[in-house]
């Protein structure tokens, strides 16, 4: 697949051993993980197969679909260089206040009807106050009553706020480590890496599931990527979103490179495989940048990863729902549901049509081809002309 990364008889990688380690819930050695990132004598398809066997061992051939709702946009006092909502960003976004509980619940209902397994909500800012926690607890309890799983990203949290969210029915708290402890001051100075670790500890102590991931492409070294991969293993993050930096005009960090090189589809695949082999039992989610950086290799990403976002990200557009669902089915995977009979009727028709060969003709969308390196802001967050 990549002529520069072929496997020879004298320098064969222990793919079977990596698979067995994963199935035993053991991380591969850091040296092997580094070789994967560097592409040292790595045959891409052999690597994808090895990671895919681990993925299938724990998750079968299902894909959990997440839909992300930006419930408050912009006006953030933090200086995270990768984020268009940061105080230092000149990204052309339109800030808006916290959505009403009814509006959040309506968004959740639409996500459920489109085939979402989990509804993820994100609030801009350093961390929520008491009134905001009460507001979100109301929304979470109503969404849970619909039978939809929930995740919330709300910035820094203490023990008491984490317990309130748990009592309201929140399943998971998202708070990404984003990068290594060493590299963190290069991307943010208004809070620390340890502040993020403390929030994850509060979530775990409260009994919440921990969703924490990283952003690849912030001019980090491969050692930084390994540091955060093994740190997520240490905290036993049950869900790991793997983002690949999308360059948004006006952000301080907007040149996607890792290890001194631009991101490319084969490297992105190797990152996903490394994350699976270091965190065998975690839900590995292909998050922002899937379309732009994997490009035509998107379906292969579902072999190491068992989850993705649908219908865009926090600020940027993504592949349309219909195209995403067809990609999942065409690759031989199935959208995850606790009870498949409860899947939305439109999705059941799509799955049945795929099974009997009578899929309706797919109309290409603007994002179906995922133009390389294009970050298009969502209409809902873009500054009005």
pLDDT digits (tens, 9 = 90+) for 80-95: 999 999 999 999 888 9
Q: How confident is the model at residue 379 (pLDDT cuts 50, 70, 90)?
A: low
Domain presence at residue 173: yes
At residue 359, the pLDDT reads 58
Instruction: Report the interhelical angle of 222-234 vs 30-38 (nearest 10°).
Output: 140
Number of domains in the chain: 1
- pLDDT of 357 > 80? The answer is no
CA-CA distance, 226 to 333, in Å (whole number)? 29
CATH number of the domain bearing residue 269:
3.20.20.70
Contact 203, 174 (CB under 8 A): no
H-helix or E-strand spanning residue 168: helix 159-168
Give the CA distances from residue 81 to residues 76, 211, 225, 247, 351, in Å, rounded to whole numbers and listed in that order: 12, 21, 18, 11, 41
At residue 363, the pLDDT reads 40
Domain presence at residue 18: no
Domain presence at residue 148: yes
At residue 314, the pLDDT reads 79
At residue 212, the pLDDT reads 98
Domain presence at residue 125: yes
Domain presence at residue 27: no
Q: How confident is the model at residue 150 (pLDDT cuts 50, 70, 90)?
A: very high
- pLDDT of 372 > 90? The answer is no
Contact 301, 269 (CB under 8 A): yes
Q: How confident is the model at residue 362 (pLDDT cuts 50, 70, 90)?
A: very low
Contact 213, 177 (CB under 8 A): yes
Over residues 163-176, the pLDDT tens digits come to: 999 999 999 999 99
Domain presence at residue 41: no
Residue span of the structural domain in which 91 resides: 48-337+345-356
Over residues 89-117, the pLDDT tens digits come to: 999 888 999 999 999 999 999 999 888 99
- Say which residue, 371 or 338, is predicted with more confidence: 338
Q: How confident is the model at residue 367 (pLDDT cuts 50, 70, 90)?
A: very low
* Those residues with Cβ within 8 angstroms of residue 375's Cβ, 6 or more apart along the chain or in another chain: 246, 247, 248, 249, 292, 316
**Any idea which residues carry the catalytic annotation?**
76, 80, 83, 120, 151, 211, 285
What is the CA 101 to chain-centroid distance, rounded? 25
Average pLDDT, the chain: 90
Q: How confident is the model at residue 385 (pLDDT cuts 50, 70, 90)?
A: low
CA-CA distance, 48 to 58, in Å (whole number)? 16
Domain presence at residue 2: no
What's the sign of the alpha-carbon dihedral 274, 276, 280, 282?
positive
Q: How confident is the model at residue 342 (pLDDT cuts 50, 70, 90)?
A: low
CA-CA distance, 85 to 211, in Å (whole number)? 21
* Those residues with Cβ within 8 angstroms of residue 271's Cβ, 6 or more apart along the chain or in another chain: 37, 216, 225, 242, 244
CA-CA distance, 348 to 190, in Å (whole number)? 47
- pLDDT of 358 > 70? The answer is no
What's this model's pTM, rounded to 2 decimal places? 0.90
CA-CA distance, 140 to 277, in Å (whole number)? 33
Q: Is 361 exposed, middle or buried (0-12, 13-18, 19+ CB in 10 A)?
A: exposed
């Amino acid at each position: 697949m990549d002529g520069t990364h072929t496997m020879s008889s004298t320098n064969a990688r222990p793919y079977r051993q990596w698979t067995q380690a994963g199935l035993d819930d053991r991380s591969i050695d850091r040296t092997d993980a580094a070789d994967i990132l560097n592409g040292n004598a790595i045959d891409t398809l052999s690597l994808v197969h090895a990671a895919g066997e681990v993925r299938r061992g724990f998750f079968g051939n299902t894909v959990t679909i997440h839909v992300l709702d930006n419930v408050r946009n912009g006006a953030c006092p933090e200086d995270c260089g990768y984020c268009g909502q940061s105080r230092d960003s000149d990204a052309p976004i339109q800030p808006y206040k916290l959505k009403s509980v009814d509006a959040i619940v309506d968004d959740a209902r639409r996500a459920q009807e489109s085939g979402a397994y989990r509804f993820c909500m994100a609030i801009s800012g350093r961390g929520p106050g008491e009134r905001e926690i009460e507001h979100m607890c109301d929304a979470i309890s109503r969404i849970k009553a619909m039978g939809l799983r929930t995740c919330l990203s709300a910035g820094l949290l203490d023990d008491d706020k984490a317990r309130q969210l748990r009592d309201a029915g929140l399943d998971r708290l998202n708070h990404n480590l984003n990068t290594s402890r060493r590299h963190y001051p290069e991307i943010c100075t208004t809070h620390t890496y340890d502040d993020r670790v403390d929030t994850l500890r509060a979530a775990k102590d409260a009994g919440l599931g921990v969703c924490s991931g990283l952003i690849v492409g912030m001019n980090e070294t491969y050692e930084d990527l390994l540091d955060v991969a093994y740190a997520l293993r240490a905290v036993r993050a049950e869900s790991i979103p793997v983002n690949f930096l999308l360059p948004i005009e006006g952000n301080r960090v907007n040149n996607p490179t890792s290890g001194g090189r631009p991101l490319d589809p084969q490297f992105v695949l190797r990152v996903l495989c490394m994350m699976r082999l270091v965190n065998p039992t975690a839900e590995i989610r292909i998050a922002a940048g899937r379309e732009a950086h994997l490009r035509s290799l998107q379906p292969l990403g579902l072999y190491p990863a068992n989850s993705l976002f649908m219908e865009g990200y926090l600020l940027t557009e993504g592949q349309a729902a219909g195209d995403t669902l067809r990609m999942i089915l065409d690759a031989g995977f199935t959208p995850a549901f606790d009870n498949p009979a409860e899947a939305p009727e439109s999705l059941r028709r799509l799955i049945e049509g795929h099974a009997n060969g009578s899929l309706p003709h797919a109309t290409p969308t603007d994002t179906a081809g995922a133009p390389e390196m294009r970050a298009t802001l969502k209409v809902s967050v873009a500054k009005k002309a």
